[in-house]
Amino acid sequence: MSLELFVASAKSVPNAETFGKSDPYVTAEFQGASKKTDYKKSDLDPVFNQHNYSLSSVVEKNPARMPAGDDCSVFLCRIVKRSPLGFLCRDIRMSLGFDLRQTALNINDELKVYVKDYERVGRNRLLCQSTIKLKTVINGDKTQKLTLSMVDGNNRPTTCTLNVTLSYKPPSSAKDIGARTIQDDSGDSYAEGKDIIT
C-alpha cells in the first residue's frame, strides 16, 4: 500500500529573489520521510508534470525504472520510441510516493507540502506551504484532485495555489510484485513503477 502525491503545477509562487525569479520545487513530508520534485528555473508559474528523458541502457533492463533526480519517483511514463541509447519517453508524470508498508493511514495523519526556492549555494528557502488532512482519502475517494491554497512560513495567506492529485492505496489482499503494464482508453501502453530513489 502507498500514499502518492502527483504534483501538476503551481500558480503565483512568491518570489524570494531581489534580482530575477525564484527556482521553485515541491517537497512533501510524511511521518519523517521527505520526497521532492525537480526545481523549475526562474518560473513563478511552474508546471511539474511533463518531462522528456532519454533513458540509458541500464533502464532497458527494467523500463519501469528511470533516473528522475534526487528523491523523485516515476509514477507513469509513456514509451514512444526505442533507440540504441535506450528508451525515449514522453508525458512523464512525477509522483512523490511513500511506502506505507502495510500500515493503514490514521484519521489524524497529515501530509505536509512545501514550495521552496532552490539555491546552488546556501540553504533552500521556504516560499509557501500547506497541510493536507489525510482523512479525506480515508473516508472518501482514494484518488482526489486538489487545489491547495498556500500560506507563508508564518501561516499568512499567499496568492499561490498548488494543483496536485493525492492517491491512497489501502491494505489489500492482492500482492503486486515489481512493476506492471497498464493500458489507457486509447489503447496506449504504460509502464507503472515504484519509487526508485529514497
Domain ranges of the chain: 2-172
pLDDT in tens, 58-75: 344 344 444 444 333 444
Confirm if 182 and 168 have CB atoms less than 8 A apart.
Answer: no
Q: Is the pLDDT of residue 125 over 90?
A: yes
Reference 26, options 56, 57, 47, 42; nearest CA is 47
Average pLDDT across the chain, whole number: 75
- Residues 95 and 47: their CA atoms lie apart, in Å, by 13
Check residue 136 and give left, alpha or beta (phi > 0: left; psi -120 to 50: alpha).
alpha
What pLDDT score does 6 carry? 92
Q: How large is the average pLDDT for residues 138-167?
A: 96
User: What's the pLDDT at 171?
Assistant: 79
More confident residue, 35 or 195: 35
pTM of the model: 0.69
| Predicted pLDDT of residue 145 | 95
pLDDT at residue 137 greater than cutoff 70: yes
The length of the chain, given as a count of residues? 198
Instruction: Say how many CA atoms lie within 13 Å of 185 toward its Cβ.
Output: 0
Percent of the chain beyond pLDDT 90?
54
Q: What is the pLDDT of residue 77?
A: 44
The CATH number assigned to the domain with range 2-172 reads 2.60.40.150
Q: What pLDDT score does 193 carry?
A: 38
Q: How many Å apart are CA 69 and CA 9, to the nearest integer?
A: 18
32-47 burial string, b = 16+ CB within 10 Å, else e? eeebbbbbbeeebebe
